[in-house]
Structure 1
């Protein structure tokens, strides 16, 4: 088994160092030039974006409230990737990974806009009073004839089914609860799995209702605590920011918990974590937001730009909190999931109990969000029995990987996500002339 993961690690490194890196940056540059930097214009007009989205949803019966879908989208993006995976990126790629993450986010905004635009444009009504959309549907539109029109949508659905079982965040939550409360691991696994199955298989409406309640409270509390830690150590910020820019292009020698990095490794870690955390080119967001009540694809797509910005800010708060407290230089032996808790503990007492709540809120909303998407993809593959088959598959996967190493579990997510990026970008490029950028 270790030999298998060694091979997968090499493949993951090659993919994100060369293929994934190139796809995200080049596709992002292409669409940014094509739309004349439209993401900038959207970011400068948040009120107009919200107002027009609200207006376009009035009088529509099918679908879900677009603002509840926004929080469902956030629930799928802001999770343990922003609290754990981004720290792992720093430990491997050095502080420069933060800059590369922001580069990927900037170009990823227009990729995400394009995904959601096509997801809404090519969606179809379903029997539940909602819609089905996402990469499966716009890939069919991109290749209406020939074998690619049959093969690529199926591949996208299969990989999203695999990706939809968010085993990485499941394992981190189980590890955290088990360590803090010293309870039997199997009990934690069964309780968390039961809650996930009940909620995740309840559909997009149930997901949206839960996320619209949990996510605002969680986000405000977490950002407040991180900001406090950063302010307490503000004198460190100038040196940290200089180090981020310098190491992004020169790498960093081994030091403390750092393994030593090069520019290529910093870019690989920053971009791959941005793609994972922000769902850039993965297909989750286009599948979820295609359920919108709005009948205007461009209006629903614009709100995704703000979602990705919030996701990046959340990750940045985590990284800066860890860097300004000096943990990556002085706290060897910690798991990636323990760094942010240790950083917050420098200011807040009993923070380990808060971290259980934070990890649960962040991770669980992501887990159930991806289960919802996986279920929709399974129904695409097998309309009659897909949901039942996926229930069995998800249960087996969660139970099997609950005792696996965090890094091994993340590796599976990274590789399946990489395959989805390729498929999605193929669809975006093929339908590039169908995507409208602007205020309509």
Structure 2
């Protein structure tokens, strides 16, 4: 097992080397510049569109439900365990690189959501199917290359669902949290998850979306409020902590009072890889859910999708990172969920409540990630092998959930990173190849919106002049 773990670690370091990091950041930077800092200037509009209902439009679920489904697969162990492992590997500066990857990733996520609507299609059951598989195959001019990349993405997507984010990492984290907080044996947790996940996923995207739209907003708000309470009780440490995060992003040893063997590249790689693990910008998973949204505007759905990265990383991951760094839990020799639990225990005004906040939050976050990734893997296997392969896939998915509680934490996170990285490559190639579609659709939408606003303003002015003349 040690030999396999070492081999996977080497593969992971190769995949998540500078080429992929620069490809992820470069793609986000390109769209950020070409779209005029859209993730900054259009974020208020994106949040307004989040609650817009288009029940008469084509699609299976509302835009908000599609976002919650996407968030259900992103807000999970990456926000609690992943942030802790990033800080252990790269120091507090890893949080800074999470912010950078998230800001640029918002532009990437916008582009993914936009393309998901442009190239989606109905499947044999009459449901919407979309995502990188479809915009790679239908959008690329070189059709053979497009099909090859689409199939590669789908294969890696199934791999992430079965071996990465979808099963082992979440189940192991749930098992640890249930054992620590509720003293539930791992095998009992495994049996419970097998039954509940099986019931929910049988209902398809509508049942998954209905569960996600209840759990995700409630737990996200509760978790953020809890960290705000920690920061209130440690208000004098907030500015020094933020300064430490920025400083140690470039000189990691500054956080430890001397050399600890952590380089800037390690801080960058840890922050970016864990940030991507958490928000999945550039991986191509979110557009699979976005394609099911009831909308006829690809730009509006892109904007809604973009908020997912903001909520996941800029909000939730930042909360976890600040709690860990403010309480200096990263210096106490623990890792994973234990580090975050210790941070909440030491920082929360009432320590015992802090333990429950972290672990119950982890239970719900990880559970929704499992059901979200079950759907993603289902769509990928459907694309590869057709409708007949869905049932065997679901059975295998549930079996692997039963195995999850007994997997090594380091092993499952390394494996998840590998399949994540492999999934990113074909998707990023597709985004770059279809960049002109993204820019064209975006400019056309905002040009039309601007003309509409101008027309409405002219009408208001005319009405005002008519009313004034009648009064006089």
Q: Per the shorter chain, which TM-score range? A: over 0.9
1:48/1:179 CA distance change after superposition, 3 Å: closer
User: What residue is the counterpart of 1:319 in the other structure?
Assistant: 321
Q: Deviations over 1:230-271 (max 9, x none)?
A: 111111122211111111112227949x96411100100111
User: What residue is the counterpart of 2:99 in the other structure?
Assistant: 102
User: What residue is the counterpart of 2:461 in the other structure?
Assistant: none
Q: How does 1:9-408 map to 2 (within 5 A)?
A: 9-46=9-46, 49-50=49-50, 53-54=52-53, 57-60=54-57, 62-143=59-140, 145-165=142-162, 166=166, 167-252=168-253, 255=256, 260-312=261-313, 313-329=315-331, 331-332=332-333, 334-346=334-346, 347-351=349-353, 352-408=355-411
Paired residue secondary structure (2:17): helix
User: Where does structure 2 lack aligned partners over 5 or more consecutive residues?
Assistant: 449-472
The separation in 1 between residues aligned to 2:310 and 2:255, in whole angstroms, is 31
Q: TM-score, length-normalised on structure 1?
A: 0.93
Q: Deviations over 1:340-398 (max 9, x none)?
A: 22222232343333433211111101110000111111111121321112123213332
1:259/1:386 CA distance change after superposition, 3 Å: farther
1:59, distance to aligned residue in structure 2 (A) = 2.1
**Contact 2:344/2:358 (<8 A) preserved:** no
Q: Does 1:415 align with 2:451?
A: no
1:181, distance to aligned residue in structure 2 (A) = 3.0
User: What residue is the counterpart of 1:7 in the other structure?
Assistant: 7
Paired residue secondary structure (1:218): helix
**Contact 1:68/1:212 (<8 A) preserved:** yes
Q: Deviations over 1:318-355 (max 9, x none)?
A: 110111112122x21x2311122222223234333343
Paired residue secondary structure (2:310): helix
Q: Deviations over 1:291-314 (max 9, x none)?
A: 011011111110122221111211
1:60, distance to aligned residue in structure 2 (A) = 2.0
RMSD: 2.0
**Contact 2:46/2:306 (<8 A) preserved:** no
The separation in 2 between residues aligned to 1:48 and 1:317, in whole angstroms, is 24
The separation in 1 between residues aligned to 2:393 and 2:424, in whole angstroms, is 22
1:38, distance to aligned residue in structure 2 (A) = 1.7
Paired residue secondary structure (2:236): helix
The separation in 1 between residues aligned to 2:116 and 2:401, in whole angstroms, is 28
Aligned length: 434
The separation in 2 between residues aligned to 1:302 and 1:202, in whole angstroms, is 28
The separation in 1 between residues aligned to 2:243 and 2:59, in whole angstroms, is 51
1:412, distance to aligned residue in structure 2 (A) = 1.2
Larger radius of gyration: 2
1:219/1:280 CA distance change after superposition, 3 Å: same
1:62/1:217 CA distance change after superposition, 3 Å: closer
The separation in 2 between residues aligned to 1:338 and 1:138, in whole angstroms, is 41
Q: Which moved more, 1:28-37 or 1:140-149?
A: 140-149
The separation in 1 between residues aligned to 2:201 and 2:357, in whole angstroms, is 24
Paired residue secondary structure (1:385): helix
User: Where does structure 1 lack aligned partners over 5 or more consecutive residues?
Assistant: none
Q: Name the structure with the higher helix share.
A: 2
**Contact 1:248/1:263 (<8 A) preserved:** yes
**Contact 1:28/1:108 (<8 A) preserved:** yes
The separation in 2 between residues aligned to 1:38 and 1:234, in whole angstroms, is 32
The separation in 1 between residues aligned to 2:427 and 2:181, in whole angstroms, is 40
The separation in 1 between residues aligned to 2:211 and 2:101, in whole angstroms, is 29
**Contact 2:58/2:295 (<8 A) preserved:** no
The separation in 2 between residues aligned to 1:38 and 1:355, in whole angstroms, is 33
1:90, distance to aligned residue in structure 2 (A) = 0.5
**Contact 1:201/1:375 (<8 A) preserved:** no
Q: TM-score, length-normalised on structure 2?
A: 0.87
